[in-house]
Structure 1
Amino acid sequence: MQITLDDPASAPRPLSPYYSQVARVEHGDGSALLFLSGQIAEGATLAEQSRGVFETIAALLKAHGATLADIINIRTYLTDITALAEYGAVRGEFLTGTPPTSMTFEVSRLFRAEALIEVEVVAAVPGTE
């Protein structure tokens, strides 16, 4: 097993130098698990931020040969759980297949005051061997 930490140049830069965007855990058969750091995005509304988050996640996955369809687990942190339906509608635009395992939490705040949402995912990349 090999672990690689990465900040793909083709995706938005991390907001801090203190973390990596992706941890790739390689298995001997060419398959890998991708662990993405929590993602936030700019925007005035939860829907705008949610779209930005999923666009960033898609770019990070693409840099490692994966797509949104490869997500197997998603964790969402909302600053207002009553907005779950609004988030869910945007999530449904991006995750169109069988839904991954999921947890959603309400938190009092995120590391940026303007952030309404943060999403982290785990994806499974099939082997090519």
Structure 2
Amino acid sequence: MVGLTGVRRTFSGAPWESQVGYCRGIRVGDQICITGTAPVAPDGSVFAPGDAYAQAKRCFEIIQQALKDLDADLSCVVRTRMYVTDIHRWAEFGQAHHEFFAEHPPATTMVEVQRLIDPAMLIEIEADAIVVNNNP
């Protein structure tokens, strides 16, 4: 089996990472992929059930930490994908996105999905980043 060299991974400790076999983020060279990130509280429960804005914000905080673990920051993010269970709440999700990315907006997509892994989760977010010129 041949693997990639120079691969770095980070884990958030979410219970599904070890159960399913994935990492929170992976960096290969200057490219970083952050896996679908759900609003998980430090104790493993769903963060802020029913609060679309707070859940989105929590997802971005987890993504921000994963980027930091891989020597990057939010300014490196070039694309986000938001999977939401109620598209009518787009402004609440969008407010959190704006707060984290207003100064360096990435390309983004918001798509309504039927449900996420826990019915109390309203959003899950993926992010792709590229580190340019030793940024951060």
Q: TM-score range by the shorter chain?
A: 0.7 to 0.9
Distance 1:120 1:90 in 2: 14
Once the two structures are TM-superposed, the CA of residue 3 in structure 1 deviates from its matched residue by 5.5
- Say what the alpha-carbon RMSD is for the aligned residues: 1.6
Q: Is the 8 A contact 2:10 2:26 kept in 1?
A: no
Distance 1:35 1:3 in 2: 14
Which structure has more helix as a fraction of its residues? 2
Q: Which residue of 2 aligns with 1:33?
A: 31
Distance 1:103 1:81 in 2: 12
| Unpaired stretches in structure 1, ≥5 consecutive residues | 27-31
CA displacement, residues 83-114 of structure 1 (integer Å, 9 cap, x when unaligned): 00111111111112232111111000011221
Does 2:27 align with 1:24? yes
> What is the SS of the residue equivalent to 1:110?
coil
> What is the SS of the residue equivalent to 2:26?
strand
Q: Which residue of 1 aligns with 2:84?
A: 78
Distance 2:61 2:38 in 1: 10
Q: Which amino acid aligns with 1:43?
A: A
Distance 2:6 2:90 in 1: 34
> What is the SS of the residue equivalent to 1:54?
helix
| Unpaired stretches in structure 2, ≥5 consecutive residues | 40-46
Q: Is the 8 A contact 2:9 2:70 kept in 1?
A: no
Distance 1:84 1:93 in 2: 14
TM-score where L is the length of structure 1:
0.85
Distance 1:3 1:108 in 2: 37
Does 2:98 align with 1:92? yes
Q: Which amino acid aligns with 2:13?
A: R
TM-score where L is the length of structure 2:
0.81
Q: What number of residue pairs does the alignment pair up?
A: 120
Q: Which residue of 2 aligns with 1:65?
A: 71
Q: Which amino acid aligns with 1:119?
A: I
> What is the SS of the residue equivalent to 1:38?
strand
CA displacement, residues 50-80 of structure 1 (integer Å, 9 cap, x when unaligned): 1110110110001111111110011000000
Q: What is the aligned-residue identity percentage? A: 28
